[in-house]
Amino acid sequence: MNLDSRTLRPQHHLRVAQLALTAALLSGAAAALAADIIPIDATQRRAFGIQLTAPEGTDETRSRRYPARVTVPNPQLRVVSAPQDGILVALLVAEGERVVAGQALAELRSPGLVDLQSAFLEASTRLELASSELERDQRLARDGLIAERRLFETRARQRELTTTVEQQRQRLAIAGLSDTDIATLRDSRQLGSTLPIRAPLAGVVLEQMVATGESVAAATPLYRIAELDPLWLEVHVPVDDLAGLTIGGRAWLPELERPGTIITIGRMVHERDQGVLVRVEVTDSSGRLRPGQFIEVQLTAAGTGWQVPVSALVRQGDRAYLFVARPEGFAAVPVTVLSEQDGRAMIAAELTPEDRIATRGTVALKAIWLGGEGSGGGE
CA gap 279, 159 in Å, rounded: 52
Q: How far apart are CA 201 and CA 19, in angstroms?
A: 81
- Facing residues of 134 across strands? none
Distance CA 325, CA 130 (A): 98
Looking at residue 240, what is its pLDDT? 83
User: Phi and psi at residue 177, in whole multiples of 5°?
Assistant: -80, 135
Walk along the chain (379 residues) in steps of 10 and give the mean pLDDT of each run: 43 42 43 63 90 86 88 96 93 97 94 90 93 92 87 93 94 86 89 90 97 95 96 94 88 92 95 92 90 94 82 92 94 87 83 93 92 47
Distance CA 173, CA 179 (A): 7
On whether the CB atoms of residues 105 and 197 are closer than 8 A, the answer is: yes
Domain boundaries, given as residue ranges, for the chain: 37-59+305-370, 64-74+228-302, 77-109+200-226, 111-192
Residues ≥6 apart with Cβ < 8 Å to 49: 360, 361, 364
pLDDT given for residue 146 in this prediction: 85
C-alpha separations of 336 from 99, 306, 307, 339 in Å: 48, 10, 12, 9
Residues in contact with 108: Cβ distance below 8 Å, sequence separation at least 6, in sequence order: 82, 83, 84, 86, 87, 88, 89, 176, 194, 195, 197, 216
Closest CA to 106 of 236, 214, 203, 260: 214
| CATH code assigned to 37-59+305-370 | 2.40.420.20
Amino acid at 240: D
Q: Indicate the DSSP class of residue 54.
A: P
Number of Cα atoms under 13 Å in the Cβ half of residue 145: 7
How far apart (Å, rounded) are the C-alpha atoms in residues 119 and 186? 11
Instruction: Give the domain 77-109+200-226 fold.
Output: OB fold (Dihydrolipoamide Acetyltransferase, E2P) (2.40.50)
Per DSSP, 257 falls in state T
Nearest to 280 by CA among 256, 297, 292, 268: 297
- Global confidence as pTM: 0.63
Q: How far apart are CA 260 and CA 281, in angstroms?
A: 6
Question: What is 64-74+228-302's CATH topology?
Answer: Elongation Factor Tu (Ef-tu); domain 3 (2.40.30)
Contact in structure between 302 and 59 (CB atoms under 8 Å): yes
Helix (H) or strand (E) holding 139: helix 111-142
| pLDDT of amino acid 26 | 42
